[in-house]
Amino acid sequence: PRAVRIIALDGPAASGKGTLARRIASHYGYRHLDTGLTYRAAAKALLDAGQPLDDEALAARMAGDVDFEGLDRSTLSAHAIGEAASRIAVMPAVRRALVAAQRRFAEEPPGSVLDGRDIGTVVCPGASVKLFVTASPETRAKRRFEEIVGKGGDARYEAILDDLKERDARDMGRTDSPLRPADDAHLLDTSEMGIESAFQAARDLIDRALAAASES
């Protein structure tokens, strides 16, 4: 069995992969990287510098400068940053820069949990366990809606749903590293699951996969 355990979680926006990834990392004592934040940090650097989003070489340079230790969702959560992130995420040079650093993070012992769109397919194809987390667009839109309203924000469910569908189409339709389950990923549909039951289901899958790996 490999020394470094890598747990890969992929899935569309608001499927619950981030919440699961944090729970799983703390349960197993592994480090966690939300790779969406790395795309967001590169996008924010471009926006802050007042630079256009369509200059691939410049975007790749910003991606190369992302500080993986200083990633903080609270400073990267703006809607405009998410939009810009999904735009620069179609650029191969941006992906190359971020994927190289994501792999370095993943390979540090004793283990790591990475969540994103292409962890099982591209970043860590040899991961110990791969989960593909999904939920219906309506469930995901409802979660996002409640998240925003819960923080005292203003939101329209229909607008969030349209936005999620557009984001899904861009993530699944791009040529470089499209969002899709790896052939050996376990599918976890959380549409009818609360956070606790999703965590139990994920833990069962992971425990079984890790046990099978250490027997072989």
Binding residues: 11-19
Distance, CA of 47 to CA of 51 (rounded, Å):
6
Q: Closest CB to ligand CDP belongs to which residue?
A: 36
- Residue 39 near ligand CDP by CB under 6 A: yes
CB neighbours of residue 45 within 10 Å? 17
Identity of the residue numbered 118: D
**Residue indicated by tokens 């046990």:** 211
Distance, CA of 189 to CA of 10 (rounded, Å):
12
Distance, CA of 121 to CA of 12 (rounded, Å):
14
Q: Which of residues 174-203 bind ligand CDP (CB under 6 A)?
A: 190, 193-195, 198
- Binding string, residues 60-99; x marks residues near ligand CDP by CB under 6 A: ----------------------x--xx--x----------
The piece of 44-52, 58-66, 110-118, 155-163 that touches ligand CDP (CB under 6 A) is 110-118
Tell me how many residues contact ligand CDP (CB under 6 A): 28
Alpha helices (H) along the chain = 17-28, 35-48, 56-64, 73-76, 79-88, 92-106, 137-150, 157-173, 195-215
Among 7, 8, 11, 111, binds ligand CDP (CB under 6 A): 11
Binding residues for ligand CDP, per CB under 6 A?
11, 13-19, 35-36, 39-40, 82, 85-86, 89, 116-118, 143, 147, 167, 171, 190, 193-195, 198
